């Protein structure tokens, strides 16, 4: 009994640290935004087909096939006619190639969901950004590489409130251990330029 209590106290900091770490940005963290909120997590890497073959299975809001078992949700996603996934190269930062993946559900042609993938190996990709609409007239915009000082950053853009709305940005700095979401002061945002 005493050994169990000691082991429980020894593991407590690891559990607390892991949960705290999951709630805070860090290398290889994914920023997820949906109408039901936003959060950070750390999904494993996947082959590109995971992100393109059955895009409906990637729903993070829980609205697709609501209350379905995981097996039924996957079957429904594979049978769904949409969305279509379109992969576009954003650019390269150091050794990392960065891609936008646009998901289009509607016939109007606008991007409904967007993911940002970073290629880390032969057909191995990590998702660092997943954006589903938070409002009816919100739209994901193409990501761009920008230079601030001596550093090239990735800027993920999201338009909230239609054409006259405001753009919300996520900025990512790329280090050897992976991308890290960073805050960029407003004053520096005004002087950035696309690479």
What's the CA gap between 42 and 58, in Å, rounded? Answer: 14
Partners of residue 189 on adjacent β-strands: none
pTM above 0.95, yes or no: no
Burial class (CB in 10 A: 0-12, 13-18, 19+), 48: middle
Structure tokens at 42: 């750390």
Query: Does the pLDDT at position 14 exceed 60?
Result: no
Give per-residue pLDDT as tens, 110-146: 667 899 999 999 999 999 999 887 666 677 789 999 9
Give per-residue pLDDT as tens, 32-84: 888 888 889 999 999 999 999 877 777 776 666 666 777 776 676 666 666 67
Strand bridging mode 30-34 / 124-131: parallel
Matching residue, tokens 């935004």: 33
With CA atoms as reference, report the closest residue to 99 among 124, 133, 135.
124
């Amino acid at each position: 009994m005493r050994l169990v209590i000691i082991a429980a106290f020894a593991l407590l900091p690891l559990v607390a640290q892991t949960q705290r770490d999951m709630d805070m940005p860090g290398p290889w963290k994914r920023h997820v935004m949906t109408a039901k909120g936003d959060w950070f997590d750390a999904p494993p890497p996947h082959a590109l087909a995971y992100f393109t073959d059955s895009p409906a299975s990637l729903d993070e809001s829980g609205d697709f096939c609501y209350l379905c078992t995981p097996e039924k949700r996957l079957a429904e996603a594979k049978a769904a006619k949409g969305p279509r996934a379109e992969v576009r190269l954003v650019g390269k930062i150091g050794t990392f190639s960065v891609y936008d993946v646009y998901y289009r559900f509607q016939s109007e042609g606008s991007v409904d969901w967007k993911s940002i993938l970073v290629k880390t190996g032969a057909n191995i990709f990590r998702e660092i950004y997943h954006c589903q609409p938070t409002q009816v007239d919100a739209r994901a915009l193409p990501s761009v590489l920008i230079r601030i000082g001596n550093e090239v950053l990735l800027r993920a853009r999201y338009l909230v409130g239609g054409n006259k709305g405001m753009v919300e940005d996520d900025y990512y700095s790329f280090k050897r251990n992976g991308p890290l979401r960073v805050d960029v002061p407003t004053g520096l945002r005004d002087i950035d330029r696309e690479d």
